[in-house]
Structure 1
């Protein structure tokens, strides 16, 4: 009756990958974990304390002096390269669940304006350019634009104020994003609705790689409450990803937090949430339900703190996650249970920009009943995390599109 729980700390990197400086040379210094531990301070003036992440082996894969170099827990700890281009949450999770995402399309909206505008017009919308910029205004309310928070050309957004129109329903923000998705060559079209500090055109700016888009953090969407987001991914064979593989084997599958929004599995129980306390509570509840199964949870507020370049907030969320992991460890005690803590990319709040950073991520695996702690070799793709989880659940990893189980995981 084994249970496998994957906790993804969104935007939690442990040091730059060798190609991190290809787009932004300064990113060769990216180190989300190290910079947060060095620069974040609690209201009491002390650095963040991460005893559970330390016990899970974080200090085995990151040299920060504040992390323990050893642990008595039966853990296997290593690092994973991302295994997909850029640094993106959607691509990271799809890869982690076993999809071959190594050939995502990279495209600016400017190069596909006519095609996108045509699809929206055919769907009955009014479409115009914003001040002759390569950005579309739909029905006078929704901006269709390059995503400025991921690497240029990876994602497009359809963004609107919830004060102006609904997120769901005919003619809403999500419906517009779905029309864009039908012709978009990029990995992800993201529908975003929220409460802004003013008209959205005020927050439009140029991005890297000749992109133009809404500066979502500056707009106030992230801090004003009521944020609605839906991630519409490129077509994938979801039957060859971990959640579907587990569900077809009769195992209960629970998707928590952002994972509930971006992973496909019709049989899964979905518990979407953004506040970290809610994500952790849902995850603990799913494990307490007992029996065997798969739980995949995403902690999003670390990523949001990275985008806001708020090192202190990032540290506070990490401490909150650390406390939640202690609860999970107390519940996952069977010999076949697994707790896997990892990330999907980096988001260094101290690097000097609000983009994701291309970093290795930790792979911390708690294996009750196994031998002493061990350091794993680096793995070349997040897909190996999904394959390792499949093996722990007694599933055939070759049922996934890609990925190899990590030896010793």
Structure 2
């Protein structure tokens, strides 16, 4: 009996990828991990207490004075490029589970306005411009627009007031947009706004134009309805489905429970880190084999809030939980894989994700010592490595290659 746990620290990057500055040149200095460590030493007068991260080899892939530069645990350590465009939680997790995201692009709605309008008209909808802005007004009530809360070009929204029409109709419009959209997500949003939605349209970064959703009052007025429509993917060729078909119990925890597909999975959605850790530990303590995919979201939330102190506090809470997981995953064949899905540097000066490498820290109780992994070309290699640990054929995934040690450390 063995357990494999993929533990995703949301927004935990370890340094900018070479193309990180394509949208914002300042992002070339992004280093979520390093800047958070620096903040605590200089501003709070002490280093972060991360003994479990250190034991898992974080300091070997991100050298820093506050991280151990050696470990006695049997671990394999490396780092991964993202392997998908932009920096996005949904795309990151789908890629990590083995999805092929090569057909997904970063695109502004304005670049596809005619195509989207034609699809909506073919579906029987009335489509009008809003002045000269690159967005669409559908049936006089729903705005189709760039999402201003994620990196430019990652997601599009179809937003409507529930005073004007039902969420079912908003969702129907979003599905028509989804059918022709090249982006990772089309998000249907229905809520109660303080005024007609066109009043809240504004320009965003990178040439985008969209609805300032927080300003509408949607988030504070209650009864908000949201549905995320992801890019078409073959979920049967992702790790949770591959494991479930092999009779391996699957548990999805935290944000992973919201965004990953697997009908057979036990789902434990949660946002508080303490709850995510508790659900993960409970799943590991269960008898028999199992795959657990868990996501800690509060690091990402701290990054969006540009709250470096809170980011560090969550990391310390996560570290304590990792210590418990290491102690529980002590049988030959067990795996604890700690990684991230993108960066979210709380010192970068904006509230968007940052395009960074992420750590790949693998605890393997039966191994003899430390092994160094080659750089993974994408997060799909993490899923393929977990598949191999579970005795599954990684070729059953749509994308990814199991990581093999480049060399044993001296």
Whether the 8 Å contact between 2:255 and 2:271 is mirrored in structure 1 is yes
Counterpart residue number, 2:8: 8
Whole-angstrom distance in 2 between the partners of 1:311 and 1:339: 26
The aligned length equals 406
Aligned-partner SS, 2:387? helix
**Structure 1 counterpart of 2:80:** 80
Q: What SS class does the counterpart of residue 90 from structure 2 fall into?
A: helix
Other-structure match for 2:63: 63
1:289 equivalenced with 2:286 (yes/no): yes
Q: After superposition, what is the alpha-carbon deviation per residue over 1:111-170, rounded to whole angstroms, capped at 9, x for unaligned?
A: 3335445655676777655554223455776543212344432321234678x589x962
* TM-score, normalised via structure 2 length: 0.87
Tell me if 1:267 matches 2:270.
no
Shift of 1:280: 2.0
Partner of 2:389: 392
TM-score (norm 1): 0.87
**SS at the partner of 1:145?**
strand
**Correspondences of 1:6-405 after superposition (within 5 Å):** 6-40=6-40, 46-117=46-117, 128-130=128-130, 132-137=132-137, 143-159=143-159, 170-171=168-169, 174-192=171-189, 204-215=201-212, 229-405=226-402
Cα 1:316–1:265 change in 2 (3 A) is same
1:257 shift after superposition: 1.8
Asked if the contact 1:98/1:400 (under 8 Å) is kept, the reply is: yes
How well do the aligned residues superpose, as a CA RMSD in angstroms? 3.1
From the superposition, tell whether residues 303 and 230 of structure 1 become closer, same or farther in structure 2 (CA, over 3 Å): farther
Structure 1, 390-399 or 144-153: larger mean CA deviation: 144-153
Q: Distance in 2 between matches of 1:57 and 1:73?
A: 8
Q: Matches of 1:349 and 1:371 in 2, distance apart? A: 37
The structure with the larger Rg is 2
What per-residue deviation string (whole Å, max 9, x for no partner) do you get for residues 75-96 of structure 1? Answer: 1111011112222222211211
Which sections of structure 1, spanning at least 5 residues, go unmatched?
A: none
Task: Give distance in 2, aligned partners of 1:197 and 1:58.
Answer: 47
Asked if structure 1 preserves the Cα contact closer than 8 Å seen for 2:85 and 2:105, the reply is no
Q: CA deviation at 1:20?
A: 1.5
Q: Distance in 1 between matches of 2:34 and 2:220?
A: 26
* Closer, same or farther: CA 275–69 of 1 in aligned 2, 3 Å: same
Contact 1:5/1:339 (<8 A) preserved:
yes
| In 1, Cα distance between equivalents of 2:250 and 2:204 | 39
Distance (Å, rounded) in 1 between the aligned partners of 2:345 and 2:177: 31
Q: 1:301, CA displacement in angstroms?
A: 2.0
Give, in whole Å, the separation in 1 of the partners of 2:176 and 2:9. 31
Q: Per the alignment, do residues 198 and 27 of structure 1 end up closer, same or farther by CA in structure 2, a change over 3 Å counting?
A: farther
The secondary structure found in structure 2 opposite 1:170 is helix
| Residues 205 and 212, structure 1, Cα contact 8 Å, conserved in 2 | yes
- CA–CA distance in structure 1, aligned partners of residues 346 and 220 of structure 2: 16
C-alpha distance 8-151 of structure 1, shift in aligned 2 (>3 A): same
Deviates more, 1:225-234 or 1:7-16: 225-234
Assess if the C-alpha contact under 8 Å between 2:2 and 2:333 holds in 1.
Answer: yes
1:277 and 1:193 mapped to 2: Cα distance? 30
Once the two structures are superposed, residues 186-213 of structure 1 have per-residue CA deviations (whole angstroms, 9 ceiling, x without a partner) of 2211345678898765654322331112
Instruction: Give the drift of 1:397.
Output: 0.9
Q: 2:168 is paired with a residue of what secondary structure?
A: coil
Whole-angstrom distance in 2 between the partners of 1:269 and 1:386: 19
SS in 2 for 1:11: coil
Q: Is the 8 A contact 1:230 1:262 kept in 2?
A: no
TM-superposed CA distance for 1:352, in Å, is 1.7
Per-residue displacement from partner, 1:14-50 (whole Å, max 9, x unpaired)? 0011222222221111101111111258997644322
